[in-house]
Each structure stands twice: as C-alpha cells, then as structure tokens.
C-alpha cells in the first residue's frame, strides 16, 4: 500500500488520522488543504511529508502560477515549507522542487515523482542494509541472531515513507528472512502512532508483535526483553545527534543501560549536514490539547495546561550506528558522518 501518490492532478493519501478503524483515501486538491493535512498528521513521517511537500510545490505551480502572481505562489510555497519544522525532509524537498516550479508546473511534477521514487528505492536499500547490520550487532552483543526481538517507537513503516519504511522496513526484512522473534512497538503518546499505525502495519505483514505502553520500554530493556532498538529520524545533525519522536531518548538511555544496540535508520534525505548538532534542531510543540485528551476524550480536567514536544534529540553518544540507504556509520566505533 502506498501512503500517498499523485493521482489526476491531486495528491491522494491514506488518511492516517482515521487508522486503524478506517482505511480512507483523502484527496487533496489545494495547497491550503495539503498544508492542513500535513499539520493534522493525515500524512506524517519525515520522508512522506517530504514527498507531500514536493507534490505541494508542483500543485502550487499549477494553481498559483508564479509567472502570473509571484507573491501568491511564494506565499503558497512558504506555507508548505513551514507546515512542520522538525523533519528536514519537508523544507529540503520544497527547496529542491522550487526552481523547477519556476520553469513550469510539469517540470516540478517530474521532480516530485523522482523524489517519490527515490524514497521508495531508499526504503528497500535501508531494509536490506539495516537487517544485515542488526544481525551483525546482535550477534556481537547477545549471541546468534536467529530469533531477534526488536523494540521500536512511533511509526516508521510504509505509512511514514512511500512504501516499506525506515526502521520498520528493517523489521519487515528481518521477518522476511525468518529471524524476527517479535517486534515490540511502544504506543507513542500522545497521538499513538505506535499503537494505531505500527501494529496495523505489523499485522498486515504478518510479523509477530506485542504492543507496550511508552514507559514500559526502558524497564523491559533492562529486563533483557529486546535484542535491539530500531528508530527512524526526523533530522540527523552533522555530528550524529538525532531528532525523532518523543520517547526515543528514553529508549536510548534504556538501551545504553542494558547494553543493547540502538540503531537509527533514515534515508540520506534526513541527514542535515547544515545543522551542526541537536541543540540547533527546532522541536515542534503541538500544544496542550493532544496531551489533555485522547481521540476526543478528555483525560485531564478542563483547562489543564500541558507541554507537548513532538520530538526529542538523542545524543550521538547513545547511538550505536546510523543506517541510511547508502551507508552504515558506526558511531560506536568512532566513525563520523
């Protein structure tokens, strides 16, 4: 299943806010609706919002012709670029398509298709390279890697990319190779991408799994319940510090305590050499309401304020290695990006 694609002059996406109860296709025909879809997480995950942003610029070129009203076009492109700040893929893909959109809407669309296809190829490469790396690291830390238990967070599957995914692509490949004992996704409060989306995708691939509440992750690692932790990334800084879904840092601390390999899986399009370290990464705050209620049901008294960082930064010192579509960087062996 493709998370999103360009169909008859519009972007069509699986509306991820409706999963797992309903598999609904959302057709987006305007830039304003695309920006709203990105903001409310109908489409989400760093590579997927990069592809959505690329198609958004192509749409902007067709609907707000830069040769006719450059101001309206620039405003439309800026609204896409600024829809979410943490994942570098969104701004990067918008910036990549922009010069082509100034030439023609057709050239912009061709580039957006290219980005979609590159992300798909990247997922396949990460799955293979990541599975090899997991097997190597698990064998070195806890013996023969024949029944691997992999903990993960958020959703890093096909829904977060175009197909297959990043960290979840690795888990899928381990399953296809017959060496996955179980996946252990944490539910990922407040929007439950682990509980709603990752379990949905694991079920579809027929991979054994058990769902955890977020706070069980580090404790279960300390108890020896997992052989590896695999996460995706929204932005990898030049020094290797990695922004990913809130809760990733807690898992990294738990993994370090338990001496379990902690692996980041992300395409090269998520590596941001222009950001020196994690301190410079803007972390999206999504406001109090998502914390004080769960799917429309209040879980705190009316008027409760909340802090809601959508992401955290795991320092490179807690990351064993980064697997991309092109390389493996062993931070645990002193390698650098």
For the annotated catalytic residues, the residue numbers are: 234
Do residues 202 and 230 touch, judged by C-beta distance below 8 A? Answer: no
Number of neighbours of residue 119 by Cβ within 10 angstroms = 25
When the beta carbons of 31 and 251 are compared against ligand MRU, the nearer one is 251
Cis amide prior to 218 (ω within 30 degrees): no
Helix axes 46-63, 31-39, angle to 10 degrees: 160
C-beta separation of 202 from 302 below 8 A: no
Q: Tell me how far, at minimum, the Cβ of 218 lies from ligand MRU, in Å.
A: 18
Closer Cβ to ligand MRU, 198 or 239, answer by number? 198
Residue with smaller CB distance to ligand MRU, 156 or 199: 156
Q: Residue 234 Cβ, how far from ligand MRU at the closest point, in Å?
A: 5
CB of 146 to ligand MRU, least distance (A): 27
Is the backbone peptide bond immediately before 114 cis, with ω within 30 degrees of 0? no
Pick from 215, 220, 232: nearest CA to 182: 220
SS3 content of the chain, % helix, strand, coil (to 5): 45, 20, 35
What residue number has its CB nearest to ligand MRU? 232
Compute the least distance from the CB of residue 312 to ligand MRU, in Å: 10
Report the residue number, 137 or 310, with the smaller CB distance to ligand MRU: 310
Question: CB 44 → ligand MRU: shortest distance, Å?
Answer: 3
* Residues of the shown chain interacting with ligand MRU in the complex, contacts defined by CB under 6 A: 41, 44-47, 87, 154, 156, 160-161, 165-166, 193, 232-234, 244-245, 310
The residue written with tokens 């991408």 in the block is: 193
Nearer to ligand MRU, 100 or 310 (CB): 310
Dihedral pair phi/psi, residue 290, rounded to 5°: -65, -25
């Amino acid at each position: 299943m493709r998370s999103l694609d360009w169909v008859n002059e519009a972007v069509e996406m699986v509306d991820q806010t409706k999963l797992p109860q309903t598999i609904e296709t959302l057709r987006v025909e305007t830039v304003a609706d695309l920006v709203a879809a990105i903001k409310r997480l109908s489409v989400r995950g760093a590579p997927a919002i990069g592809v959505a942003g690329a198609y958004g610029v192509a749409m902007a070129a067709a609907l707000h012709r830069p040769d006719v009203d450059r101001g309206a076009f620039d405003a439309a492109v800026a609204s896409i670029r600024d829809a979410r700040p943490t994942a570098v893929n969104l701004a990067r893909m918008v910036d990549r398509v922009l010069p082509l959109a100034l030439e023609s809407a057709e050239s912009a669309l061709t580039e957006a298709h290219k980005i979609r296809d590159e992300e798909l190829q990247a997922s396949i490469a990460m799955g293979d390279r990541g599975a090899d790396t997991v097997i190597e690291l698990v064998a070195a830390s806890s013996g023969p890697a024949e029944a691997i238990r992999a903990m993960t967070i958020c959703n890093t599957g096909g829904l977060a990319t175009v197909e297959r995914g990043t960290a979840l692509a690795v888990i899928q490949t381990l399953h296809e190779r017959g060496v996955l004992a179980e996946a252990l996704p944490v539910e990922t409060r407040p929007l439950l991408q682990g509980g709603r989306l990752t379990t949905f995708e694991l079920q579809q691939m027929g991979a054994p799994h058990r769902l955890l509440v977020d706070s069980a992750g580090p404790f279960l690692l300390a108890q020896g319940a997992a052989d590896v932790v695999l996460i995706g990334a929204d932005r990898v800084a030049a020094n290797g510090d990695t922004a990913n879904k809130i809760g990733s840092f807690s898992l990294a601390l738990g993994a370090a305590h338990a001496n379990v390999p902690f692996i980041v899986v992300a395409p090269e399009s998520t590596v941001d050499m222009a950001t020196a370290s994690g301190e410079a990464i803007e972390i999206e705050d999504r406001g109090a309401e998502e914390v004080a209620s769960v799917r429309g049901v209040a879980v705190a008294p009316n008027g409760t304020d909340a802090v809601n960082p959508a992401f955290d930064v795991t320092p490179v010192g807690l990351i064993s290695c980064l697997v991309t579509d092109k390389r493996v960087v062993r931070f645990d062996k002193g390698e650098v990006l």
